[in-house]
Amino acid sequence: MSVIPLKGMRGAIARNMTLGWQAPRVAMTVEVDMSACLGQQVGVTPQVLSAVAGALRDHPALNAWLTPEGIAPQSVVNLGMAVALAEGLAVPVIRNAAARSLADMAQQVRELAAAARQQSLPPKAYQGGSFTVTNLGATGIDWFTPILNPPQVGILGIGRTLDTPVVRDGQIVIAPMMSMTLVFDHRAVDGHPAALFLADLRKRLEAGVLP
């Protein structure tokens, strides 16, 4: 079999992943009851992205870049959305995500994912992201720890939603539980504010994302 050279898209992925892996990163995971999000006209991914955007607006320490000069807070939430391609990975950016309605977010997800797979997006569509979300739930993965997307200081990995026995008011019930793993750069963000962000995100999803 021939060797596949690390160039083009594969080379760019390799370089970026190496930089992300070198960061002093920390991962933390929570389980989310998705009962309020299921059965909606809008899928899980847009709801998660909308909730992430709102949580980042209220926890701006995660909405930042780490540059050679220091920590650069980003005034607008520009969400990177990981899209799997046959030959690699693309991360188009949803601009000003915190200002978008849920319906608008769903449209953005559909259009950007389709255009990324068709490789019809301009280079600027992949630039300027302030935080990234990657969802492997559709593949049956329970949870995973994604690699940071420099210069961003945080990334969220989403696993599948699985009917799981949980305890509610002393009783065992079945609930659709989904894992979320936050990976963050400890040079820029400490554990406590990162945990508060993740707790807020869980609260938003369990309450149901507003349209």
What do you get for the CA distance between the two ends of the chain, in Å?
Answer: 51
Q: What is the pLDDT of residue 211?
A: 55
How far apart are alpha carbons 179 and 169 in whole angstroms? Answer: 22
For 101-110, the pLDDT digits (tens) are: 999 999 999 9
Cα separation, 211 vs 208, whole angstroms:
9
187 pLDDT above the threshold of 60: yes
- Other C-beta atoms closer than 10 Å to the C-beta of 58 total 13
Note the pTM of the prediction, 2 decimals. 0.94
Q: What is the pLDDT of residue 79?
A: 98
Task: Catalogue all structural domains in the chain, each as residue range(s) with its CATH number.
Answer: 27-207 (3.30.559.10)
pLDDT value of position 56:
98
| DSSP 8-state class, residue 84 | E
Helix (H, G, I), strand (E, B) or coil at 98: helix
DSSP lists the bridge partners of residue 94 as 79
Catalytic residues: 186, 190
Contact 92, 115 (CB under 8 A): yes
- Per-residue model confidence as pLDDT tens digits over 64-90: 999 999 999 999 999 999 999 988 899
- For 115-183, the DSSP string reads HHHTT-S-GGGGS--SEEEEE-GGGT-----PPP-TTBSEEEEEEEEEEEEEEETTEEEEEEEEEEEEE
